A = this chain, B = another copy of it.
């Protein structure tokens, strides 16, 4: 075992590799750089290369053996992949692209200019071209797009030893061989058999006698998230993907699922933070793209927030006669916003992770309403005390306290109701996340506050 395998220091070792690589390349010590990279896993080499300047990247990439270059290339970010591809000689480009797994290749093509895609695609080996075109035929984020058409299938009527022989021949080329799929003569999926079961079976049994017939599978047009949930739920290593006729097209493997679920969690988190999540990493994107991701929500929120300005200007006489009321607006609307944010956050996450599938919406909403009111009561006592200290008037304290209870109950309800409604209408409930909920809670909160004030303080 290499030292690099020690996880508590592996990230530090990765940094050392990157710095050393840079240094060796600057000193034109190419042999040294080559030696440095030999024991390093491809994903770490890719990261080290990404840390270099563009010309250095090409230099480092050329130091790798052909098989290593292919492995490393798949881990590079697509902008680095593209810039390398443009600098390759034609044959070199074809070799690399041809050796990529079809799903990784489809991903690369997605981000490449169309004319470059056409040029490269035209030069691919017909079978590789067909595999890629198959994937590119499905919408992004569907099972068909993330599957790999490279899997091992055997016929149901083979013996275990024939199947083992076939696997031995095929496995060298295939990306994965976690399961072996059993099909009929027209390639319809009949069952699966694991390598483990094949090892455990006696050689002269028939495949159909050892295969598992209850297969969990998905159709190619299903959303990738559903594929991920199936693999997670049933603890699978890979999920077979079929067309309408049940013909086996490919498999989605568990390592892709981890990335899909992570991407999805990032999307939810960004939505809750009011940032658009599409495309590359936020931290790798340019300044303008950052603004473009953040401005849309901010504009929606500012425009919605005009309502608060309007409402407060309508109650000018209330604020004018008791200016102390203004002191408490930030506290009240922040607290309402926070309670609404709590409710919408747990609801949105619950909808994503399928936790809410067996819960009745009416019950969930009602419980949030009561929870909000209860939280409001706890906080109202505290705020009443604060009000007494700062303004010393019981009526103002009561106004603030009562408003807080009403605002809290309302914010929790709105924070649950709106994401649910959005979900029911087929939209992404994450659009009804904290930023928007906070704004809605603020508008309603100010309306409640100023009306309670008017009533209790006998104004107007």
Contacts and interface: CB of A to CB of B under 8 A. Distances in A.
Interface of A: 1-2, 4-8, 10-11, 18, 39, 41, 43, 47, 51, 164, 167-168, 171-172, 177-178, 189-191, 195-196, 198-200, 213-219, 222, 226-227, 230-235, 237, 246, 254-255, 257-259, 261-262, 265-266, 268-270, 272-275, 281-283, 287, 290-291, 294-295, 297-299, 301-303, 305-306, 308-310, 312-313, 316, 319-320, 323-324, 326-331, 333-335, 337-339, 341-342, 344-346, 348-350, 353, 355-359, 364, 367, 370-371, 374-375, 378-379, 382-383, 386-387, 390-391, 434-435, 438-439, 442, 446
Contacts of A268: 265, 269
Q: Which of A167, A334, A357 has the most CB of B within 10 A?
A: A334
B298 A442 contact: no
A18 B379 CA distance: 41
A291 B391 contact: no
Contacts of A319: 323, 326
19 contacts: A1-B213, A11-B357, A43-B234, A47-B358, A167-B199, A171-B196, A172-B200, A231-B258, A235-B255, A262-B353, A269-B272, A273-B342, A281-B350, A282-B350, A303-B382, A308-B330, A313-B390, A313-B391, A316-B323
Given A232-B259, A370-B287, A327 B312 contact: yes
A20 to B, nearest CB: 15
- Copy number in the complex reads 2
A425 B232 CA distance: 35
Given A2-B214, A41-B234, A261-B262, A442 B355 contact: no
The 6 closest A-B pairs by CB, nearest first: A273-B345, A265-B265, A308-B330, A326-B326, A312-B327, A235-B255
A257 B262 CA distance: 12
Given A270-B345, A274-B342, 18 more contacts: A1-B191, A1-B214, A168-B200, A195-B196, A232-B258, A232-B259, A254-B258, A258-B258, A265-B268, A266-B349, A269-B348, A294-B342, A294-B371, A298-B378, A308-B330, A310-B390, A326-B329, A338-B435
A215 B5 contact: yes
Contact of A190 (B1, B312, B438): B1
Nearest to A237: B237
Given A168-B199, A390-B313, A219 B7 contact: yes
A145 to B, nearest CB: 16
Given A232-B258, A272-B272, A328 B309 contact: yes
Contacts of A266: 349, 353
B269 A349 contact: yes
Contacts of A312: 326-327, 330
Q: Could you tell me the dominant secondary structure of chain A's interface residues?
A: helix
Given A171-B199, A320-B323, A329-B326, A298 B375 contact: yes
Given A11-B357, A330-B333, A438-B337, A200 B171 contact: yes
A376 to B, nearest CB: 10
A296 B315 CA distance: 34
B7 A226 contact: yes
A334 B338 CA distance: 12
A225 B265 CA distance: 15
Contacts of A39: 214
A219 B329 contact: no
A290 to B, nearest CB: 5
Contacts of A259: 232
Nearest to A312: B327
A86 to B, nearest CB: 24
A272 to B, nearest CB: 6
Contacts of A217: 1, 5-7
A375 B297 CA distance: 11
A101 to B, nearest CB: 11
Q: Which of A269, A282, A306 has the most CB of B within 10 A?
A: A269
Contacts of A334: 301, 305, 308, 333, 337, 438-439, 442
Contact of A309 (B195, B342, B390): B390
Nearest to A380: B302
Contact of A273 (B316, B328, B346): B346
Nearest to A350: B283
